[in-house]
Structure 1
């Protein structure tokens, strides 16, 4: 049986020797939210929350996203050759839209200063999570 996201988060936290409150403080989210996630009383957190947890634990954002069910399969970015996670439910059209979004590869700048590769990757990670979350929400809304 596959481990739930909450159980996996608890395992990571305990391996670090942290209390729920220590993780909550490091991730800048509430202790009650950590408790609800770990005890299965709350659904899977949003990608932004998962990013905060991953950063707090110095863990892999991608692995947490996979455990949360956001990322299932891989898509290869043609330019970099890097595998980019794609949810299992994504249709051909969804994948096409995602590829189009990633191919718009102009220089990324902040305050007129080009971003380094690490910052670009962090932005790509956040955009990937937001893109798939929005797609999934749109699919749910169409079913109603």
Structure 2
């Protein structure tokens, strides 16, 4: 299936109009329309990065369907992408040390602080649920 058909399918699957994808990605609606109609070639990696953000789709997935990457990702027995060889990222440090965008909106330091707080609460609760109960009588 050609790139333009796959892009159109991805957009529709996410429930976005061309205008919504344009607003979310920063790529013009006219350009997206031309791509989806097959009137444009495969976009540059920079445009694919913007589209991946707008579609909330992994950049590597768009790079693959565009033909820039042709090596399939290794998969685990359950069919999920394998984590072997991938570096682990400290999410707290990642939040603190990077300029981040969510749905085309740049996150402020306050936004990132709130995200960090929510994650702390979420994982604190999960950690408490995993701990064995201890007898408080001693």
Q: Which bracket does the TM-score occupy, shorter chain normalised?
A: 0.5 to 0.7
Whole-angstrom distance in 2 between the partners of 1:51 and 1:15 = 19
In structure 2, the residue matched to 1:12 is 10
- Could you list the runs of 5+ residues in structure 1 that have no partner in the other structure? 83-114, 123-144
Unpaired stretches in structure 2, ≥5 consecutive residues: 74-83, 87-92, 101-138
Pairing 1:17-56 to 2, within 5 Å after superposition: 17-56=15-54
TM-score of the two chains, using structure 2 as the length reference? 0.53
Which has more strand, going by share of residues? 1
Equivalent positions of 1:1-144 (< 5 A) are 3-73=1-71, 81-82=85-86, 116=94
Which residue does 2:78 correspond to in 1?
none
TM superposition outliers: structure 1 runs of 4+ over 2 Å = none
Cα deviation, residue 73, structure 1: 2.1
> For the residues of structure 1 that align with 2:14 and 2:37, how far apart are their CA atoms?
18
TM-score, length of structure 1 as denominator length: 0.51
Residue 25 of structure 1, CA deviation: 1.1
Q: Pairwise CA RMSD of aligned residues? A: 2.7
Question: For this pair of structures, how many residues does the alignment match?
Answer: 83
